[in-house]
Structure 1
């Protein structure tokens, strides 16, 4: 089967864009803050605010999440976003830590 230049170019563009998207997705997940990270543990970070140890963190109140914290750098609709506490690491919007502030 003979391949035309047009077919080759279309195939190349498709493969190239797939590789770019795959790399972006993998970089995004690699940049997420882990609950096991020492900095995260120091402030009691959890990816799901409903799992906060209320005995250990009595300052927690229902409805507090990273998404509505003033330190969160993403949009309220983002699943993950930046946080001024953790540099280039992404935190879960539905997460929480003891540095929560809504000022």
Structure 2
């Protein structure tokens, strides 16, 4: 029993520290630039109000990164990683054509 408890505690501490380190790695991820080739291809803008509505008819008011299912942060985060941009951070107020409303 002691061995199981000890193993559990050691494993739990390891998992918790790994999660903390990965969270810090996300916070240190570079911010995506609007001139980044992927950003250009997806029509990414740091400010959703700047989206070319004629070119991206899919865009609708209220759509922005912080309410997209791909935004890997809290809705209140100013910047958070996005898998569409290889984990680079996107603006919470941004938008791209990969936008998919969070369920």
TM-score for the superposition, normalised by structure 2: 0.70
- Structure with max Cα Rg: 1
Mark the runs of 5 or more structure 2 residues left unpaired by the alignment. Answer: 1-23
What is the alpha-carbon root mean square deviation over aligned residues? 1.7
Shift >4 Å, 4+ stretches: none
Given the alignment of the two structures, is residue 47 of structure 1 paired with residue 49 of structure 2, yes or no? no
In 2, distance between residues paired with 1:92 and 1:82?
Answer: 9
Which residue matches 1:57? 56
In 1, distance between residues paired with 2:48 and 2:33?
Answer: 14
Mark the runs of 5 or more structure 1 residues left unpaired by the alignment. Answer: 1-23
Alignment coverage as a number of residue pairs: 77
Name the SS for the 1:67 alignment partner. Answer: helix
TM-score for the superposition, normalised by structure 1: 0.70
